[in-house]
Amino acid sequence: MIAEFWPYLTPYLVVLLAGALPNESFRIAAVLLSRGVDETSEFFVWIRLTATTLLAAVVSRLLYAPAAQLEAVPLAIRVAGVAVGVAAFFTARRSLLAGIVAGEAFFVAAAWWFTRG
Amino acid sequence: MEAGTRSFVGLGIRSSLALPGWIVALSFLGVGSLARDVGHPIGAAILSTVAIWAAPAQLILYGSLAGGGLVTAAALAVALSAIRLLPMTLAIWPYLRRPGQSLLTQLGLAHFIAATVWIDSMRRLPGLPPEGRIPYFVGFGATCLSLSIVATALGYLLVGALPLPFAAGLLCLTPIYFTVSMMGGARTAGDWAAIGLGLGLVPIAAAVVGRDYDLLATGLVGGASAYLIDRQARRRERAAG
């Protein structure tokens, strides 16, 4: 009975065990460790800056060692897309929308130019 | 629900719909398409968004599976990308902690924490009255999550038909969006140092300690350096002022 359904269940188990479990562990650990974290302490400043560093590091990893179709576009174009987005954000008086639209437009145009026949 | 609570839930929903919710949903189109590439059913793709709720972890999971890697290696890669959730959750916790909360409530609140929700909440929550913070946070987070679930399904069904530049563009949305909103939220010298070190140290760390531990090494070294830079800047400010 279980053996019969096994192939259908595998993707769900992979998502839960290889995705949700390792990911959620850190949220759960933080909740359990949180007692007595003082938002004005030096420890809290260090934690906050480590969080920002890790978020930036994950972005860097997504650009530097990307998945699937993104890998078909050269690293220089991926990095330039982000740089154009940041430049547009600050030029357009910190408009998030302007930054994203400009970065994406540049990226898609450059990727199209690079992959065309 | 009290009227006051309801109005803060509404504020959270509106602020998600004002832009961040749509952007985060667009980035989940890419997640849905990757789930189909590795041969998963649409239900598993949706489950990944509901149960993981972190685009980078999902991109890394499907990326590792697509490369034909072992499931255990994929789990390790996800865990390393998820370490950031620990300090992120700790950092936001003082604003969400209320007396008498059950552990289950706390775990439920913590599940919403991901980059978009975190960046917005770290900016908005301190300015809200304490009783409005959780309703705002839940309104904002649930809206982002709902839009992303729909987007995961749409991405699964539609993105395969997109030409490569557009499919790649959807996958590049997460890095562009995260970088711009992190820089938009940066206030202190320490914030800028953390962003610069996080972005810059990964390739160096990958060369020194290998691709498996590059995130961990960057977080430890970069986070500590950013803290020292921040403390130095605060000292100088105090001395000057």
Nearest 5°: the CA angle B18, B191, B183 is 35
**Averaged pLDDT for residues A83-112:** 95
For the segment A39-82, what is each residue's pLDDT rounded down to a tens digit?
Answer: 678 888 888 898 889 889 988 988 987 766 788 899 999 999 99
- Tell me how far apart the terminal alpha carbons of chain A are, to the nearest angstrom: 51
Residues 138-177 of B with CB under 8 A from A: 163-169, 171-177
Nearest to B53 by CA among B122, B115, B133, B120: B115
Q: Is the pLDDT of residue B67 over 80?
A: no
Q: What is the CA radius of gyration of chain A?
A: 21
Query: Does pLDDT of B99 surpass 90?
Result: no
Which residue from B minimizes the CA distance to A95?
B184
Interface probe with B: pick from A58, A70, A86, most Cβ of B within 10 Å: A58
Percent of chain B with pLDDT over 90: 61
All structural domains of chain B with their residue ranges = 3-185, 187-241
Q: Which of B51, B228, B69 is nearest to B60 (CA)?
A: B69
For residue A2, name the pLDDT band (cuts at 50, 70, 90).
low
Which residue from B58, B106, B198 is facing A57, i.e. has the nearest CB? B198
Q: Where does the pLDDT of residue A12 fall: very low under 50, low under 70, confident under 90, or very high at 90 and above? A: very high
Residue B194 reports pLDDT greater than 90:
yes
A·B CB contacts under 8 A: 318
- The stretch B210-227 carries a mean pLDDT of 89
pLDDT tens for each residue of B106-146: 999 999 999 899 989 998 999 999 999 999 999 999 999 99
The answer to whether the CB of A57 falls within 8 A of the CB of B223 is no
Closest Cα partner for A71 from B71, B66, B126, B47? B66
Q: Do A26 and B86 touch (CB under 8 A)?
A: yes
Query: What pLDDT score was predicted for residue B162?
Result: 83
- CA A103 to chain centroid, in Å, comes to 16
Question: C-alpha angle with apex A65: A61 to A71, nearest 5 degrees?
Answer: 135
Other CB atoms within a 10 A radius of the CB of residue B73 amount to 14
